[in-house]
Structure 1
Amino acid sequence: MADPHPCILIPVYNHPATISPLCDELAVLEIPLLLVDDGSDHECASELDRLAANGHHLLRLDINQGKGAAVRAGLKQAQHLGYTHALQVDADGQHGIDDLPAFLAELDTAPDTLVVGYPCYDASVPRVRFYGRYATHIWVWINTLSLDIRDSMCGVRLYPVAALNRLLAQYSCGNRMTFDTEVLVRWHWAGGDMAHRPVRVHYPRDGVSHFAVWRDNRQISLMHTRLFFGMLLRLPRLLARRWRRQHEVSR
C-alpha cells in the first residue's frame, strides 16, 4: 500500500456558527479538510464558500440528501483527490479534537483498519440520547453475533477510502442516520479489521440537531430488520468465524 495520505471529511448541513471554529481547531492536525455541503441554506453555504476560498476542499450537493449521502459523496471525492484515508468528523463541534491524533496514529501500523470512535460523555449529554443508543447497540451485537463493534453511532471514524468505496458500491448503507451503523455492520460482515478509540463528547446547550424523530427512527428500525435477515443469510459464515476465533484464543 502506498504511503497514507489522509484528509478530514466533514459533512455539513446548516452549521454556520460551528463549522469555521471547527476548521480552525482542526488546523493543528495539519491535514487537508474536505467539506461536503449537503444542501445548506444561504448563510451556511456562504460560510463554506469562504472556507473554500481559504484553501479547503468543498464538495457541494445541490439538495439536502442526508448525512449518509454526504459522507458517501465525500468518500468518492476523497479518492478522486488522491487521499487514501478519510477521518470523518461531525460539523457541530461536539467531539474532542485532542482525541483525533490517536485515530491517525493507526495509519503507521494498521492502514487497512477502520478505526471507530466510542463516545466518552460529559454531563451535557441528554439522558434520552445516552440510553437510547443501547437499542441500536443490542441490535448491532445481534446482527454481528459479536461484541466487536463497541459503538456504531459515533460520528468520528477513520475510513480506508478505497476499501470503503468498494463496499459502498455494493451497499449504499442509506442516505441519512442509518449510514453510520450499517456501514460498520457490513464492514464487519466482510471481515474487515476494526479498532476503537475513545472520543470525548460535549453537547452544547444551543447545539443544532437534524435528527427527525419519526422519519429517522422508522428508517433505523427498518435498517435493523434488514440487517437481521442479512445476518441470517450469513449465519453459517459468521458462526464459523466465531468458532475460529474462539479456537485460536483457546490454543
Structure 2
Amino acid sequence: MKKLLVIIPCYNEEDSIEALLKQLQALNLSPKWHLEIAVVNDCSKDKTLEKVAPFNIHLIDLPINLGIGGAVQSGLKFAYANNFDFAVQMDGDGQHPPQELIKLLNASETTAANLIIGSRFIEKTGFQSSFIRRIGINYFHILNKIFTGKSIYDSTSGFRLFDKKAIALTVKNYPDEYPEPETLVLFAKAGLKIHETPVIMAARMAGESSINSTASVYYCFKVTLAMFFTFIRKIQ
C-alpha cells in the first residue's frame, strides 16, 4: 500500500475548506492507496481553524504567516518526515475537485514521473482562469521552455503530485512566494521527470485570488527573476 498525503495550504478559507475536506474523505480510491490529509493553516484570520477542527486529519498550524511557498513546504516536510510515498498539493479554495486527484495518480503510475502537474490547458475544459492570467500563464510557458527545455502549459498550476524523490528535494529547496513556475526550473535542473496531465478545475468556491490584474505585472517580473536565479545557481 502506498502512503499518500494531500497537503492543503490555507489562508482564510472558512467558506470552502469544510466542503473540500468532506469531498476528500468521501473519495473512493483504489485499495493500493492510503490517503491522509494535512491542512496547513497559514495564520488565517477567519474561522478556518474552527471549520477544520472536527475532521480527523493532520493540522499544521503555523505560528507566523509564511505565504504559499512556506505553507506548502511545511506540508512537504511533514510528508518527508513521516515517510509518505507521495504528496499532493491542493488548493483550499475548491478549485481542484478531489475526484480529479485520480487522474494525477493514474498519470503517476503510467509515466513514473517525479512530478505530475494537473493542467487546465491541455484539453481546455472546465474553468480556464481570467484572460489576464492566461496571458501570464502563456508567458511562463515560453519562459519555462527556455529554462527547462520542456513545454509545460499550466506552469502556475497548484494541483501537483510529488513522488519521494521530489518531496526530498523540496525539503531543502523551495521558493517562498509563487513557487510553482520556479520549482519547475529547480526540478528540471535536478534531473527529475516532469509530466503534465489534463484535469478539470473549478472556479474558487469563495474569496478572491491574491494575484489580481494590478499585481500581474509585478508578479511576472518577480517570478521571472526568481526563475532566472534558480536557473543559474547551484543546487545544494
**Would the TM-score normalized by the shorter structure come out above 0.5?**
yes
Q: CA deviation at 1:219?
A: 5.4
> What is the CA–CA distance in structure 2 between the aligned matches of 1:176 and 1:203, rounded to whole Å?
22
Look up the equivalent residue of 1:95 and give its one-letter code: H
Q: Which residue does 1:73 correspond to in 2?
A: 74
Q: How far, CA to CA, are the matches of 2:47 and 2:233 in structure 1?
A: 47
Residues 79-110 of structure 1 show CA distances to partners (whole Å, capped at 9, x for unaligned) of 22231211111111012333211211245455
Partner of 2:32: none
Aligned to 2:201: 201
Offset of residue 112 of structure 1: 5.4
1:24 to 22, 33, 39: 22
Q: Do the aligned partners of 1:34 and 1:78 also contact (CA within 8 Å) in 2?
A: no
Alignment correspondent of 1:14? 12
Cα deviation per residue 1:113-142 (whole Å; 9 max; x = unaligned)?
211111145467322222232122221111
Q: Which ranges in structure 2 are unaligned for 5 or more consecutive residues? A: 30-34
Residue type at the aligned position of 1:225 = L
User: Greater shift after overlay, 16-25 or 131-140?
Assistant: 131-140
1:4 Cα deviation after fit? 2.5
Residue 159 (structure 1) aligned with residue 162 (structure 2)? yes
CA displacement at 1:62 relative to structure 2: 1.4
**Contact map agreement 2:87 2:167 (CA 8 A) in 1:** no
Change (3 A) 1:20 1:197: same
The amino acid across from 1:152 in the alignment is: S
TM-score by length of 2: 0.82
User: Which is greater in Rg?
Assistant: 1
CA distance in 2, matches of 1:204, 1:233: 36
SS of 2:200's partner is strand
Structure whose residues are more often helix by fraction: 1
* Structure 2 Cα separation of the partners of residues 39 and 167 of structure 1: 26
Moved more, 92-101 or 71-80: 92-101
* CA distance in structure 2 between the partners assigned to 1:113 and 1:153 by the alignment: 17
Structure 1 contact 125–202 (Cα < 8 Å) conserved: no
Asked whether the equivalents of residues 37 and 59 of structure 1 are also in contact (C-alpha less than 8 Å), the reply is yes
The answer to whether structure 1 residue 44 and structure 2 residue 51 are counterparts is: no
CA RMSD of aligned residues (A): 2.7
Match of 2:100 in 1: 99
Alignment partners' CA distance in 2, 1:40 and 1:213: 24
- State which drifts further: 197-206 or 104-113: 104-113
The offset of 1:203, in angstroms, is 1.7
Q: CA 1:190 to 1:19, structure 2 compared with 1: closer, same or farther past 3 Å? A: same
Structure 1 gap segments, 5+ residues each = 235-251
Q: Which amino acid aligns with 1:139?
A: L
Alignment TM-score, normalising by the size of structure 1: 0.78
Q: 1:1-251 maps to which residues of 2 (within 5 A)?
A: 4-27=2-25, 28-29=27-28, 31-50=35-54, 54-109=55-110, 113-119=114-120, 120-122=124-126, 125-147=129-151, 149-160=152-163, 162-173=164-175, 175-177=176-178, 179-204=179-204, 206-211=206-211, 217-218=217-218, 220-228=220-228, 231=231
- Percent identity over the alignment is 26
Give the Cα separation in 2 of the matches to 1:37 and 1:205: 18
In the comparison of the two structures, how many residue pairs are matched?
225
Q: Secondary structure at the match of 2:47?
A: helix
The CA deviation string for residues 52-102 of structure 1, in whole angstroms up to 9 with x for no partner, is xx3111111112211110010000111222312111111110123332112
What does the per-residue CA deviation read over 1:1-22, in whole Å, with 9 as the maximum and x for residues that have no partner?
xx53112111111010100101
